[in-house]
Structure 1
Amino acid sequence: MNETEQRKVERGVFAKTKLVLFDLGGVLLNFMGGRSPQREDKFPI
């Protein structure tokens, strides 16, 4: 694997991690401020 491929992989991993963090942040906000209907079907509690 050359250097540019390595960078692409790292960027992809970073983007996925960012999405997961935003998702977790949204879940935490829903716990604090009440659950929103669009999240309820995704994360049934």
Structure 2
Amino acid sequence: MDKLLKRYCQALEWALVGLLAVMVVLVFGNVVLRYAFNSGIT
């Protein structure tokens, strides 16, 4: 049971890391689009 919980927490960590990376890319892209091309992500 302890091994299962450890794997679950590890998978959850990787999911959170992935989602945070996606958020960073989206925010960075939105800033670049807003200042370089005068239009954001809609």
Task: Please indicate the TM-score interval, normalised by the length of the shorter structure.
Answer: 0.7 to 0.9
Identity %: 6
Give the gaps of 5 or more residues in structure 2. 35-40
Partner of 1:4: 3
How large is the RMSD of aligned CA atoms in angstroms?
A: 1.6
The residue identity in structure 1 corresponding to 2:25 is G
Give the gaps of 5 or more residues in structure 1. 36-43
- The count of corresponding residues between Structure 1 and Structure 2 is 36
| TM-score, normalised via structure 2 length | 0.75
Q: Counterparts of 1:4 and 1:20 in 2: how far apart (Å)?
A: 24
Larger radius of gyration: 2
| TM-score, normalised via structure 1 length | 0.70
